[in-house]
Chains A and B, each alone.
Chain A
Amino acid sequence: MASTPPVDSAHSAAYDFTDAQRSDQFQQLRKTHRSFVFPMAVAFLVWYLLYVVLAIYAPEFMSQRIFGNVNLGLLLGLLQFVTTFGITAAYVSFANRKLDPQATALREHLEAAGAGRGEG
């Protein structure tokens, strides 16, 4: 993602964006992106809401002592931290493995087509 510069308006005339948007490659890229992002977003929102609802409506459950001065509520809160970092790492690895190759291939295809059209 860091290596893809945005297309500025000087070059945009050479690229046929509507065609690219309709192409199978782009639709596949979008589907791949959404197939990870939407389920993950639902999952972490449900997990966070469950945590908040438990904290509000089940205080006795949350105040069980686990060890020392630490109760279940504190542990679940720290678990939220762990899952957040985990989801970030998962997203980074997913983007590097699945999204970047498709995006780079699409960009090179666009640039080759645009260069051809610009010259001709």
Chain B
Amino acid sequence: MINITSAAFPAIHAATEADTETVGTPWINISVFLAFVVVTLVVVIRASKSTSTAADYYAGGRSFSGTQNGLAIAGDYLSAASFLGIVGAIALQGYDGFLYSIGFFVAWLVALLLIAEPLRNTGKFTMADVLSFRLRQRPCALRHPFRLWP
């Protein structure tokens, strides 16, 4: 367990002192949040009207180009992994955080070279589908909850 003392981490100490005053105006923050939620719901409900097959749901009916898909993946990773995780890792651990983020990035090559094309060729959409398609069904379904990543 890491014992964070305010002497060793002056930035955290200053932040806890500033907790007594609010950051920004609360009603603006909440309305921006609600606007995002409403826009997302509208897009999803409109898209759901034309979704019928599994290919439509999982893979967008295979109507997205490679670039569009890449942008979607980048959007995923720009939210939590980069802004929260990697920034924090570099701030707290310096070069080790940078090294950690490179691991994230190089790992995409494993997905690209070894997994992407064969997985797409099976015509299945999730890792669990592919594994149960290729291996015996019952033991595979039992191991499903213990996978580490989807």
Binding site for B on A (CB under 8 A): 1-2, 5-8, 33, 37, 40-41, 44, 48, 51-52, 55, 73-74, 77, 80-81, 84, 87-88, 91, 95, 99
Q: Is the CB of A77 within 8 A of B99?
A: yes
Is A41 in contact with B123, judged by CB distance below 8 angstroms?
Answer: no
Report Cα–Cα, A87/B55, bound state, in Å. 29
The residues of B that contact A1 with a CB separation of less than 8 Å are 117, 120
Contact A84 B66 (CB under 8 A): no
Interface size on B, residues (CB 8 A): 20
Q: Encode B83-125 as 1/0 by CB contact (under 8 A) with A.
A: 0000000000001001100110110111011100100100100
What are 13 of the A-B contact pairs (CB < 8 Å)? A6-B123, A7-B123, A37-B113, A41-B110, A48-B102, A52-B99, A52-B103, A73-B95, A74-B98, A81-B102, A84-B106, A91-B113, A95-B117
Please classify the interface of chain A as helix (H, G, I), strand (E, B), loop, or mixed, using the class held by over half of its residues. Answer: helix
Beyond A1-B117, A44-B109, A52-B99, 20 extra complex contacts between A and B, CB < 8 Å:
A1-B120, A2-B62, A2-B65, A5-B62, A37-B113, A40-B113, A41-B109, A41-B113, A44-B106, A55-B99, A74-B95, A80-B102, A80-B106, A84-B105, A84-B106, A84-B108, A87-B109, A88-B109, A88-B112, A95-B117
Q: Known interface pairs A52-B99, A73-B95, A88-B112. Does A2 touch B66 (Cβ–Cβ under 8 Å)?
A: yes
Per the bound structure, the CA–CA distance linking A87 and B110 in Å amounts to: 11
B114 in complex: contacting residue of A41, A74, A84, CB < 8 Å: A41
Residues of A within 8 A of B102 (CB): 48, 51, 77, 80-81
- Complex Cα distance, B103 from A19, in Å, reads 41
Report the separation of the CA atoms of residues A84 and B108 in the bound assembly, to the nearest whole angstrom: 9
Question: In the complex, which residue of chain B has the Cβ closest to the Cβ of A71?
Answer: B95
- Enumerate chain B interface residues (CB-CB to A < 8 A): 55, 62, 65-66, 95, 98-99, 102-103, 105-106, 108-110, 112-114, 117, 120, 123
B65 CB, min distance to chain A CBs, angstroms? 7
Question: Does B65 lie within 8 Å of A91, measured CB to CB?
Answer: no
Instruction: Considering the complex, give the chain A residue whose CB is closest to the CB of B99.
Output: A55
Q: List chain A residues, Cβ under 8 A from B109.
A: 41, 44, 84, 87-88
Give the chain B neighbours of A88 by CB distance below 8 A.
Answer: 109, 112
On whether A80 and B105 interact (CB within 8 A), knowing A2-B62, A7-B123, the answer reads: yes
Once the chains bind, are B113 and A6 in contact (CB under 8 Å)? no
